[in-house]
């Protein structure tokens, strides 16, 4: 799938079409086509965050269909066959067409067949010196020969690996030692390197190492960058073009600098002892300053003078903040709709159970993605292993209701119905050794109020309390079945006096004068 978003982003950084094509693994014609279409649609970086890669592709080329590619010749086989007597390109082309016909593939025409063979030979024989522009490119790699650190307590010798970064135009070099070559050290080295240079080059050329390239997702022809490494490049506004496997000429400057570093830094410090990584890096920094100040043999100036005079002003400015280092891992959503990260558990929407997710891990935040869409975010948990961070909206409805079962909820509900129901609920909650054992009975009373009515439940609780101080759910249920409606008090209107009929002054005046007496007790039942 063409990386339309990445092509538009790199265009905003004023990259050439050639560099964009190398970075995105597409042809320059494709890059030109995307440029033209983006201008027609007035698409500029940054794009709308709600626009996904799929919707962007449909927007740019809604009716585009990929053309069937023709079968390319086997160049290795052709080179060997042409060395034999009597074998010509015409003969090999006719055999190639027959193979294509048998396999149902479309062959190249004879002129195209000869053209691609010639191009293959030119690639194998031709050499070219690439003139680099100031501030355009940085090459990075790990040095082959490690330094050593001595444990002051045990005397154990530990290897320290040297990271090397080189500006390809001026050869200005940065070196720093790390205890390992893992992802965290790799990203940290780049952050320190950019701060040492005081700016960012447009292109970054790393080795095809595991900390730079994800070999599981990519292949030899289309390398896929590690997510953290790509995020770092996006943060600093640079494009990463990994070197090919076993192709040192793709990064010749850093390869030659590694040899010089091994001589002028690693070998120069061979007789010194270092008891910490800080001591080693302090010594490396002194040697590095001397190395960058040494004069060139075949041209004027030094690495430092050339960098300061022609390259530094052309570097892009550093971002206002450092890149926040993060780790990425793949985690499968468990049946309890949580993923595990460092023995802590974080919830995702239950619809994604058994799905594989990409998890972005920083010191403070855990972000969970599926197909580049974030589905959940949590604060990172620390301390005792086995802790859970659960968002209630991620749970199924029946699980949410179960989570709401607690004594406070049942008591508040009972208070709204009436004092007798409140007493019954309180007795049920305190009837068992463990409070949770009573939740089902309380939930049963809640369902009875929905089935009959809150007034009828209150009357049944009042009657049940006359027989027992701790009535059970079953006894109240039986009372509700046999309770007659006339024994249920009528609901009291908010506009009427709660004490029944109010007797005014005229009533007492008539009574004192021997008036008729009326029994109002029946209205107060």
3-state secondary structure of 506: helix
3-state secondary structure of 308: helix
Q: Which of 128-142, 284-298, 463-477 has the lowest mean pLDDT?
A: 128-142
**What is the DSSP track for 68-89?**
PPPPPP-HHHHHHHHTSTT--H
Res 492 pLDDT > 60: no
Q: What is the pLDDT of residues 221-254, one digit of tens each?
A: 566 787 788 889 999 999 888 876 656 565 666 6
Q: How many helices (H) and strands (E) does the chain have?
A: 19, 15
pLDDT of residue 162: 92
Q: How far apart are the first and last CA of the chain?
A: 80
**Tokens for 258?**
């590694």
Res 152 pLDDT > 80: yes
Specify the DSSP element, H or E, that contains 21.
helix 17-24
Residue 154 pLDDT class (50, 70, 90 cuts): confident
pLDDT of residue 332: 94
3-state secondary structure of 351: helix
**Sign (positive/negative) of CA torsion 101, 103, 104, 108?**
negative
Farthest CA pair distance, the chain: 147
Res 217 pLDDT > 90: no
- Average pLDDT of the chain? 81
Give which of 19, 266, 430 is closest to 7, Cα–Cα: 19
E strands, 121-209, in order: 137-142, 147-150, 157-167, 173-178, 203-205
Strongest mean pLDDT among 205-219, 223-237, 260-274, 368-382? 368-382
Q: Which of 91-105, 147-161, 293-307, 488-502 has the lowest mean pLDDT?
A: 488-502
Q: What is the pLDDT of residues 337-348, one digit of tens each?
A: 999 999 999 999
% of residues, the chain, pLDDT over 90 = 28
Contacts of 18 (CB under 8 A, 6+ apart): 28
Query: Which tops the pLDDT comparison, 306 or 227?
Result: 306
Residues 327-337 as b or e (16 or more Cβ within 10 Å = b)? ebeebebeeeb
**Sign (positive/negative) of CA torsion 334, 336, 339, 342?**
negative
Contacts of 437 (CB under 8 A, 6+ apart): none
pLDDT of residue 355: 93
What distance in Å separates the CA atoms of residue 258 and residue 270, rounded to the nearest whole number?
A: 16
Phi and psi angles of residue 365, each rounded to the nearest 5 degrees, phi first? -130, 145
pTM of the complete model? 0.47
- Spell out the domains of the chain, with CATH numbers in brackets: 4-60 (no CATH), 75-125 (no CATH), 137-314 (3.30.420.10), 327-395 (no CATH), 405-487 (no CATH)
**Tokens for 156?**
């154990």
What distance in Å separates the CA atoms of residue 71 and residue 96, rounded to the nearest whole number?
A: 9
Query: Which tops the pLDDT comparison, 59 or 198?
Result: 198
% of residues, the chain, pLDDT over 70 = 83
How large is the average pLDDT for residues 188-214? 88
Instruction: Please identify which residue in the block is written with the tokens 């530990």.
Output: 158
**Tokens for 145?**
């020969």
Res 12 pLDDT > 90: no
Query: Which tops the pLDDT comparison, 11 or 53?
Result: 11
Residue 192 pLDDT class (50, 70, 90 cuts): very high
pLDDT of residue 523: 38
Strongest mean pLDDT among 265-274, 353-362, 516-525? 353-362
Contacts of 423 (CB under 8 A, 6+ apart): 461, 465
Instruction: Please identify which residue in the block is written with the tokens 């949590």.
Output: 378
pLDDT of residue 498: 43
Query: Which tops the pLDDT comparison, 429 or 406?
Result: 429
Give which of 246, 277, 32 is closest to 148, Cα–Cα: 277
**459 alpha carbon, distance to own chain's centre:** 58
Res 259 pLDDT > 60: yes
3-state secondary structure of 17: helix
How large is the average pLDDT for residues 32-46? 80
Residue 286 pLDDT class (50, 70, 90 cuts): very high
- Exposure of 106 by Cβ count < 10 A (0-12 exposed, 13-18 middle, 19+ buried)? exposed
């Amino acid at each position: 799938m063409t990386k339309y978003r990445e092509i538009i982003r790199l265009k905003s950084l004023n990259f050439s079409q050639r560099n964009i094509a190398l970075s995105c693994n597409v042809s320059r014609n494709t890059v030109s086509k995307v440029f033209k279409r983006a201008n027609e649609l007035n698409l500029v970086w940054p794009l709308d965050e709600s626009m996904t890669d799929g919707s962007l592709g449909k927007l740019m080329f809604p009716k585009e269909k990929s053309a069937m590619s023709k079968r390319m010749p086997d160049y290795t086989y052709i080179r060997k066959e042409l060395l034999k007597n009597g074998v010509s390109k015409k003969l090999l082309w006719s055999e190639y067409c027959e193979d294509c016909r048998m396999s149902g593939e479309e062959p190249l025409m004879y002129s195209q067949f000869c053209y691609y063979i010639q191009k293959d030979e030119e690639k194998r024989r031709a050499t070219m010196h690439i003139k680099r522009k100031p501030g355009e490119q940085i090459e990075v790699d790990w040095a082959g020969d490690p330094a050593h650190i001595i444990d002051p307590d045990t005397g154990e010798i530990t290897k320290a690996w040297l990271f090397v970064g080189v500006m390809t135009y001026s050869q200005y070099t940065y070196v720093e030692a790390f205890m390992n070559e893992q992802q965290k050290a790799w990203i940290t080295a780049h952050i320190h390197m950019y701060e040492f240079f005081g700016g960012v080059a447009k292109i970054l050329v790393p080795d095809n190492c595991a900390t730079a390239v994800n070999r599981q997702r990519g292949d030899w022809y289309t390398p896929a960058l590690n997510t953290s490494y790509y995020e770092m490049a996006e943060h600093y506004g640079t494009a990463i073009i990994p070197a090919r496997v076993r192709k040192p000429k793709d990064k010749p400057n850093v390869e030659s600098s590694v040899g010089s570093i091994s001589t002028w830094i690693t070998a120069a410090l061979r007789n010194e002892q270092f008891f910490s990584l800080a001591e080693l890096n302090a010594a490396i920094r002194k040697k590095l300053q001397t190395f960058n100040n040494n004069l060139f043999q075949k041209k004027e100036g030094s690495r430092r003078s050339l960098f300061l005079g022609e390259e530094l002003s052309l570097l892009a400015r550093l971002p206002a903040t450092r890149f926040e280092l993060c780790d990425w891992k793949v985690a499968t959503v468990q049946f309890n709709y949580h993923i595990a990260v460092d023995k802590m558990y974080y919830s995702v929407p239950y619809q994604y159970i058994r799905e594989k997710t990409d998890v972005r891990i920083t010191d403070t935040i855990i972000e969970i993605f599926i197909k580049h869409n974030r589905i959940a975010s949590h604060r990172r948990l620390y301390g005792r292993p086995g802790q859970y961070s659960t968002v209630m909206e991620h749970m199924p409805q029946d699980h949410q209701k179960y989570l709401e079962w607690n004594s406070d909820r049942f008591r508040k509900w009972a208070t709204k119905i009436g004092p007798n129901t409140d007493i019954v609920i309180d007795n049920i909650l305190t009837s068992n050794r463990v409070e949770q054992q009573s939740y089902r009975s309380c939930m049963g009373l809640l369902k009875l109020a929905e089935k009959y009515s809150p007034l009828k439940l209150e009357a049944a609780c009042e009657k049940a309390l006359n027989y027992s101080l701790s009535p059970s759910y079953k006894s109240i249920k039986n009372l509700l079945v046999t309770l007659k409606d006339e024994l249920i008090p009528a609901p009291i209107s908010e506009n009427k006096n709660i004490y029944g009929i109010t007797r005014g002054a005229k009533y007492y005046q008539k009574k004192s004068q021997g008036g008729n007496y009326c029994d109002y007790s029946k209205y107060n039942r």
